[in-house]
Amino acid sequence: MKTKNLEDLSTPCLILDKKKLEENCLKAREKCLELNTTLRPHVKTPKSIEVAKIALGKETGPITVSTLREAEYFASAGFNDILYAVSIIPKKLDRLNYIQQKYNCSIKIVIDSVFVAKEILKFGKTFNSNFEILIEIDCGEGRGGLNFQDENIKEISKVFDECEHSKLIGVMSHAGHSYSTNDKNEIMSISNIERDEALASINTFTKINKKPPVVSIGSTPTMFYASHLKGVSEIRAGIYMFWDLAQASRGICEIKDIAVTVLTSVIGHNYQNNKIIVDAGALALSKDISANKFMQEVGYGLVCNPNTGLPLSDLAISEVHQEHGAINISDTSWFDKLPIGSLLRVLPNHACLTCAAYENYNVLENETINDRWNRINGW
Amino acid sequence: MKTKNLEDLSTPCLILDKKKLEENCLKAREKCLELNTTLRPHVKTPKSIEVAKIALGKETGPITVSTLREAEYFASAGFNDILYAVSIIPKKLDRLNYIQQKYNCSIKIVIDSVFVAKEILKFGKTFNSNFEILIEIDCGEGRGGLNFQDENIKEISKVFDECEHSKLIGVMSHAGHSYSTNDKNEIMSISNIERDEALASINTFTKINKKPPVVSIGSTPTMFYASHLKGVSEIRAGIYMFWDLAQASRGICEIKDIAVTVLTSVIGHNYQNNKIIVDAGALALSKDISANKFMQEVGYGLVCNPNTGLPLSDLAISEVHQEHGAINISDTSWFDKLPIGSLLRVLPNHACLTCAAYENYNVLENETINDRWNRINGW
């Protein structure tokens, strides 16, 4: 791609700072090395092959996906060890089987019911398909998964005792509730519980399925605040690659670490209401305001200098309409400092949701846009 | 396309009920006929050529767009009278000019500053381009636009007095604040002000630009609650095509009128927390909760019978994670009534945001999926 400047881009669009991305990814790999466990990056945030490679620090490796479309996209690019971290249902086995066979890859699947376990067994017999299965353990988030002492864990385990085509390989837990606090001690405690309950759940497996068990845990906060991860095979985490205001608001990262921003243009000056209008609205930024629980002042995103990507005073996107964003200003000198046509960058409130509106990343390196990387949205 | 049943679709996906869409569109056309004004459907909600044709009741006609990508998409399909209803900036004139020339169409543009007016003049002279321009009037929303008595209206008007290539053709106003109330009298009052201020603003035009003035107003609520629209050339409205819970919550439509839903599958039963887990989460539904101001109980969407598309008791999506939605249930018999794998449809909280996650609509007609219509997302 021909090198571009920010001025050459149509707004709104995503800017991805490659150096920050690389630094963020390196820190996570180092943390997992220190914890003596494998990092299985969750690509639901970036949905990009190039970003996944940077996260792994190599051409391929274990990854986590959130949709079957992601699974197929990454499989087609040579990723052959994929964990699909959303409960599978019988109807989706067909597509899963197709992807596994077409790309000769393993897509590990997650279940939390005896019913689905039996359906996998039936499907496998009928179509001679091999699946690798993890049982989801709910370690406190209250979303998917079984309590670590639930007797259904043993029941599911039994289903696969004599199965030749599919294997129960372990358990998966996700402490998503670690996002709901900014208290380090609480995150550490959640991290301990995530690890301990995942490990304990294995004890209820029937003998035959006991080894070698995969114990897959993770969320970005519980990775960085883990006291130890003895017995844990792997960590799944994703948001650390980009970071966002939601994470910064909880003290998990610093604002200067955030690698992804939305490039926007000033399109109007509303003098009656002291607002600067930009072309990044609800679709370009999303209406996710997860950060605001602990940082109400960031609105739908913090407004940054386009060149440094760092906050411009305390300017924030205060309101959003479908294609309009408004920056409320108390100091009217901003009208002169930000004339119509000015470029700005906006730090995302929650990067996973913001990025989902875009097809690609404009990759910023040494102050120029050197590349464009695709994302795989949808299902 | 081969006819499909709901069971044949991958979830999550969008279902568009063609009959409801046609009825909704017919009502709006009849309303505009009664008001003796032109309907210029806003395609920012559907972003679909087929839906735009149904909205117009014919193959082509005047439309409103919210992005230049929409403008290009619709222009390429033969729509040659397009209003781009977001303030233009000088940098975007080049792309606009390209689309106009390539498809031999007119894309009317909107401005609210003397600065941009002069830049259009400069651009037009340099590149021999013709633009048709509307001045945006802020009738109370407080987003873009000038107060109807603002002296800048006259100043902008003057800029185009002697211009040969570009023409100031009128004014545009959008009473977006009509969405913020469920009080019919207040909507009627907002509608009156939208009309009166748009009309009054024309009086400050210089003589040469006074006729024939386009007076373009609109929002769905102010269209349906207009007492009269004498002097108004056209109405821009969009959400009436699909409707959603945000509109139903304000009494502008009924729940049975909502034409678009998200098809989702039950993927888990969380017995510990009395939750049914579905595969429509924050990306599939959006995190927009506009409806909740007046209908808090609808959460991120009302859960419906997949066949009728009508609410299943009072079930709602109570919480969303990126790919998981949770339905909190008080009556545990729902676990039996909705086994894992069951299909459900979800009425969107705010359709414009929900639809934006999808590339296409599965078109439901006579209880089968007969077609798939594309959407044009992004910028």
Entry pTM: 0.97
Tell me which chain B residue has its CA closest to the CA of residue A319: B143
Task: Let me know whether B229 and B149 are in one domain.
Answer: yes
CA-to-CA dists, residue A73 to A47, A93, A200, A350, angstroms:
9, 17, 34, 24
Name the DSSP letter for residue A308.
Answer: T
Please tell me if residue A200 touches chain B, with a CB cutoff of 8 Å. Answer: no
CA–CA distance, B39 with A52 (Å, rounded to integer) = 48
- Mutate one of A323, A335, A344 to test the B interface: name it (highest B CB count within 10 A): A323
pLDDT the model gives residue B86: 98
Task: Let me know whether B231 and B255 are in one domain.
Answer: no
Residues near B216 by Cβ (< 8 Å), separated by ≥ 6?
B40, B83, B134, B170, B171, B172, B173, B198, B232, B233, B234, B235, B236
CA–CA distance, A300 with A351 (Å, rounded to integer) = 11
Tell me which chain A residue has its CA closest to the CA of residue B283: A353
B21 part of a folded domain: no
Structural contact between residues B111 and B82, judged by C-beta atoms closer than 8 angstroms: no
pLDDT the model gives residue B206: 78
Please tell me if residue B116 touches chain A, with a CB cutoff of 8 Å. Answer: yes
Contact B142 A270 (CB under 8 A): yes
Structural contact between residues A362 and A9, judged by C-beta atoms closer than 8 angstroms: yes
| CATH, residue B128 | 3.20.20.10
Q: B204: domain range?
A: 35-242
Q: What is the pLDDT of residues B321-352, one digit of tens each?
A: 999 999 999 999 999 999 999 999 999 999 99
Tell me which chain A residue has its CA closest to the CA of residue B319: A143
Task: Let me know whether A201 and A262 are in one domain.
Answer: no
pLDDT the model gives residue A207: 72
What does the block give as tokens for A240?
């650390």
Which DSSP string do the residues of A72-140 spell out, in sequence order? HHHHHTT--EEEE-S---GGGHHHHHHHHHHHT-EEEEEE--HHHHHHHHHHHHHHT---EEEEEE-SS
Please tell me if residue A144 touches chain B, with a CB cutoff of 8 Å. Answer: yes
> What is the distance in angstroms between the Cα of B358 and the nearest Cα belonging to chain A?
6
Contact B277 A144 (CB under 8 A): yes
A25 part of a folded domain: no
CA–CA distance, B272 with B270 (Å, rounded to integer) = 6
Number of Cβ within a 10 Å radius of residue A11: 21
Q: Which residues of chain A have pLDDT under 70?
A: 209-211
Please tell me if residue A114 touches chain B, with a CB cutoff of 8 Å. Answer: no
Structural contact between residues B110 and B172, judged by C-beta atoms closer than 8 angstroms: yes
**CA-angle at B181, arms to B177 and B184, nearest 5°:** 110
CA-to-CA dists, residue B38 to A109, A147, A160, B318, angstroms:
54, 60, 66, 41
Task: Let me know whether A312 and A198 are in one domain.
Answer: no
Task: Let me know whether A68 and A189 are in one domain.
Answer: yes
Q: What is the pLDDT of residues A23-59, one digit of tens each?
A: 999 999 999 999 999 999 999 999 999 999 999 999 9
> What is the distance in angstroms between the Cα of A289 and the nearest Cα belonging to chain B?
9
Task: Let me know whether B222 and B93 are in one domain.
Answer: yes
> Which of B216, B242, B268 is a domain's end point?
B242
| CATH, residue B339 | 2.40.37.20
Please tell me if residue B122 touches chain A, with a CB cutoff of 8 Å. Answer: no
Of B266, B258, B243, B260, give the one whose Cα is nearest residue B11. Answer: B266
Tell me which chain A residue has its CA closest to the CA of residue B84: A323
Interface predicted TM-score (ipTM) over 0.90: yes
Please tell me if residue A177 touches chain B, with a CB cutoff of 8 Å. Answer: no
Please tell me if residue A151 touches chain B, with a CB cutoff of 8 Å. Answer: no
Please tell me if residue B40 touches chain A, with a CB cutoff of 8 Å. Answer: no
Please tell me if residue A188 touches chain B, with a CB cutoff of 8 Å. Answer: no
| Helix residue spans in B225-291 (DSSP H) | 245-249, 282-285
pLDDT the model gives residue A210: 65
Task: Let me know whether A200 and A322 are in one domain.
Answer: no
Contact B284 A91 (CB under 8 A): no
Please tell me if residue A301 touches chain B, with a CB cutoff of 8 Å. Answer: no
CA–CA distance, A311 with A309 (Å, rounded to integer) = 7
CA-to-CA dists, residue B142 to A270, A277, A321, B101, B178, angstroms:
8, 10, 11, 34, 12
CA-to-CA dists, residue A111 to A114, A207, A275, B244, angstroms:
8, 19, 50, 33
Structural contact between residues B82 and B107, judged by C-beta atoms closer than 8 angstroms: yes
Identity of the amino acid at B244: D
Please tell me if residue A176 touches chain B, with a CB cutoff of 8 Å. Answer: yes
Task: Let me know whether B238 and B260 are in one domain.
Answer: no
Tell me which chain B residue has its CA closest to the CA of residue A323: B66
What does the block give as tokens for A1?
């791609």
Task: Let me know whether B329 and B203 are in one domain.
Answer: no
Contact A341 B176 (CB under 8 A): no
CA-to-CA dists, residue B180 to A80, A243, B176, B250, B351, angstroms:
50, 33, 8, 8, 16
A40 part of a folded domain: yes
Of A262, A263, A265, A270, give the one whose Cα is nearest residue A335. Answer: A270
> Which of B187, B208, B242 is a domain's end point?
B242
B92 contact residues in A (CB cutoff 8 A)? 10
The sign of the dihedral angle between the CA atoms of A339, A340, A343, A347 is positive
A68 contact residues in B (CB cutoff 8 A)? 10
Task: Let me know whether B69 and B176 are in one domain.
Answer: yes
Q: What is the pLDDT of residues B297-323, one digit of tens each?
A: 999 999 999 999 999 999 999 999 999
Cross-strand partners of B214: B170
> Which of A242, A272, A302 is a domain's end point?
A242
Task: Let me know whether A181 and A299 are in one domain.
Answer: no
What is the signed CA dihedral for A190, A193, A199, A202, rounded to 10 degrees? -110
Provide the number of structural domains found in chain B: 2
Give me the residue label for tokens 């419906």.
Answer: B304
Please tell me if residue A274 touches chain B, with a CB cutoff of 8 Å. Answer: no
A142 part of a folded domain: yes
Contact B287 A142 (CB under 8 A): no
Task: Let me know whether B199 and B347 are in one domain.
Answer: no
Identity of the amino acid at B46: P
Cis peptide before A41 (omega within 30 of 0): no
pLDDT the model gives residue B210: 65
Residues near A150 by Cβ (< 8 Å), separated by ≥ 6?
none
A267 contact residues in B (CB cutoff 8 A)? 86-89, 144
Print pLDDT tens along chain B (379 aa). 889 999 999 999 999 999 999 999 999 999 999 999 999 999 999 999 999 999 999 999 999 999 999 999 999 999 999 999 999 999 999 999 999 999 999 999 999 999 999 999 999 999 999 999 999 999 999 999 999 999 999 999 999 998 889 999 999 999 999 999 999 999 999 999 999 999 999 988 877 766 679 999 999 999 999 999 999 999 999 999 999 999 999 999 999 999 999 999 999 999 999 999 999 999 999 999 999 999 999 999 999 999 999 999 999 999 999 999 999 999 999 999 999 999 999 999 999 999 999 999 999 999 999 999 999 999 9
Structural contact between residues B285 and B338, judged by C-beta atoms closer than 8 angstroms: no
CA–CA distance, A194 with B264 (Å, rounded to integer) = 29
What does the block give as tokens for A207?
């003998």
B20 part of a folded domain: no
What does the block give as tokens for A107?
């897509």
